[in-house]
Amino acid sequence: MSTVPLRESRVLRWMLMALGVIIVLSLTQELARPETTDLVSAGTAASTLRRAVPILLAGLGGIWAERAGVVNIGLEGMMVLGTWFGAWGALEFGPWWGIAIGIAGGAAGGLLHAVATVGFGVDHIVSGVAINILAPGITRFLSREFFSNRPGGGITQSPRVESVGHVDIPFLSGGDLFGWSTPDIFGWLADRGWFIVSDVFAVASGVTSNISWATLLALLLVPATVFVLWYTPFGLRVRASGEHPVAADSLGVNVYRMKYTAVVVSGGMAGFGGAFIAIEQTGIYREAQTQGRGFIGLATVIFGNWRPVGAFLGSLLFGFADALQLRDRTAVHALLLLAGVAVGVAALRALKQHRLSTAGILLLVTAPMLWWYAVTDKVMGELPPVTPHIVTLLVLVLATSRLRMPAANGLRYRRGQE
């Protein structure tokens, strides 16, 4: 049986799911306060994608390592190394070299993790935590040596750096084509004010307008990771090393080499995410600017069931929560309505499946959320900044029932063991 119809059906299903999400958000915005709530707009979509990219790259890095059987808690530290080396490389050689050097900095952190866990058998969690502790200290020392004597630099930040450039997609968002300014189809449809239809095209306009070349490269890494890990002999060897390394070794696979390679690639992905933050998001290196995105990226690995597409969807979810609390904090209040209804639907589903205790707990959660939304006009100021982390915890709690990690993930391996 041909896999082409199967792939087409998957693409159609993802497109319908994306359309459904936009419709739900659009309806929530109309039911909430459409004149003040910015749940669905080109700006929110663009900000969501920009905020999702570093999380996505950390998630892809986590998938590479864990598919080879190595837990990479050190993604956060590798991202920190990527931010510093990316900014330094951009200052010295230009933004694209900054991206490359940031990737190399993260890969160096990955190599250190591989030497400790694969080479010396150190506990994966201990090694990852050590890298997370070491990375800020290393970057503080390097900042003192290389940034503190430059105008605009200091012990905790670099001078400003240039971005790699942005592009508008021709015909879709009015980009240039051989010097000709093409029509902005998505923007025109978004400005019509048609219910739901304009919202759909506003989102499409946001993700195709003024998009960074680095963002396009990061997005291409999703299908690239799928292809390499699932459709090549090399990827099969990597995944076999994380599922049953003894069996893989008996078939002639160099398990050590596969693990080393995967963890170094993992660090490089995280380093790319860090360089993206410094070069594209902020235009400057600042201490602690990753803000836990490496850990959230690790959460997308679990949310996505150790698959790249799932990690991409998870990064969009967390990026959306992050974008809302920065762009429009009143939208976080509108999310109370959406979350209350969603939990209520889950409660009804549990009731239909005769899981009475689960249904009761969900209903007890639904009632306060809807009551909170009904009696208030806004949420407390402390809630929006922690919204992405709350979303992370809720998703992990709700997604645990369908997860299956690689069988040998986190286990110490030695050649010849049974």
Number of H helices, E strands in the chain: 16, 4
Give the per-residue pLDDT at 391. Answer: 67
pLDDT digits (tens, 9 = 90+) for 295-324: 999 988 988 889 999 899 889 888 887 887
What share of the chain has pLDDT > 90, as a percent? Answer: 48
Q: What type of residue is 160?
A: R
**CA–CA gap between residue 63 and residue 108 (Å, rounded):** 18
**CA–CA gap between residue 59 and residue 55 (Å, rounded):** 6
User: What are the Cα distances from residue 97, in Å, to 93, 208, 266?
Assistant: 6, 25, 19
- Greatest mean pLDDT among 194-208, 288-302, 321-335: 288-302
pLDDT digits (tens, 9 = 90+) for 389-399: 676 666 666 65
Q: Where is 158: in which H helix or E strand?
A: none
pLDDT digits (tens, 9 = 90+) for 38-74: 677 888 888 899 999 999 999 999 999 999 999 999 9
More confident residue, 365 or 58: 58
SS (H, E, C) the chain: CCCHHHHHHHHHHHHHHHHHHHHHHHHHHHHCCCCCCCCCCHHHHHHHHHHHHHHHHHHHHHHHHHHCCCCCCCHHHHHHHHHHHHHHHHHHHCHHHHHHHHHHHHHHHHHHHHHHHHHCCCCHHHHHHHHHHHHHHHHHHHHHHHCCCCCCCCCCECCCCCCCCEECCCCCCCCEECCEECCCHHHHHHCCCCCCHHHHHHHHHHHHCCEEHHHHHHHHHHHHHHHHHHHCHHHHHHHHHHHCHHHHHHCCCCHHHHHHHHHHHHHHHHHHHHHHHHHHHCCCCECCCCCCHHHHHHHHHHHCCCCHHHHHHHHHHHHHHHHHHHHCHHHHHHHHHHHHHHHHHHHHHHHHCCCHHHHHHHHHHHHHHHHHHHHCCCCCCCHHHHHHHHHHHHHHHHHHHHCCCCCCCCCCCCCCCC
Give the per-residue pLDDT at 40. Answer: 78
One DSSP character per residue, 58-74 reads: HHHHHHHHHHTT---TT
**CA–CA gap between residue 359 and residue 357 (Å, rounded):** 5
DSSP-derived 3-state class of residue 3: coil
pLDDT digits (tens, 9 = 90+) for 136-175: 999 999 999 999 989 989 999 999 999 998 888 887 787 7
Question: How much is the average pLDDT of 281-303?
Answer: 91
Domain range summary for the chain, segments of one domain joined by +: 38-168+210-304, 328-403
Sequence-separated (6 or more) residues with CB below 8 Å from residue 46 = 206, 207, 209, 210, 211
Give the per-residue pLDDT at 397. Answer: 65
Cβ pair 292, 147 in contact under 8 A: no
Mean pLDDT in the chain? Answer: 85
Pairing between β-strand 176-177 and β-strand 166-167 as defined by DSSP bridges: unpaired
Buried b (16+ CB within 10 A) or exposed e, 166-178: ebbbbebbbbeee
Give the per-residue pLDDT at 85. Answer: 97
Question: How much is the average pLDDT of 202-207?
Answer: 86
Task: Identify the weakest region by mean pLDDT among 305-309, 370-374, 407-411.
Answer: 370-374
Give the per-residue pLDDT at 190. Answer: 82
DSSP-derived 3-state class of residue 259: helix
pLDDT at residue 327 above 70? Answer: no
Return left, alpha or beta for 159; rule: phi > 0 is left, psi -120 to 50 is alpha, else beta. beta
User: What are the Cα distances from residue 237, in Å, to 141, 248, 250, 257?
Assistant: 39, 7, 12, 10
Give the per-residue pLDDT at 5. Answer: 57
Band of residue 180 on the pLDDT scale cut at 50, 70, 90:
confident
φ, ψ of residue 86 to 5 degrees: the values are: -65, -45
Band of residue 401 on the pLDDT scale cut at 50, 70, 90:
low
Give the per-residue pLDDT at 413. Answer: 87
Band of residue 22 on the pLDDT scale cut at 50, 70, 90:
confident
Q: What is the pTM of this model?
A: 0.89
Band of residue 1 on the pLDDT scale cut at 50, 70, 90:
very low
pLDDT at residue 241 above 90? Answer: yes
**CA–CA gap between residue 378 and residue 334 (Å, rounded):** 9
Band of residue 294 on the pLDDT scale cut at 50, 70, 90:
very high
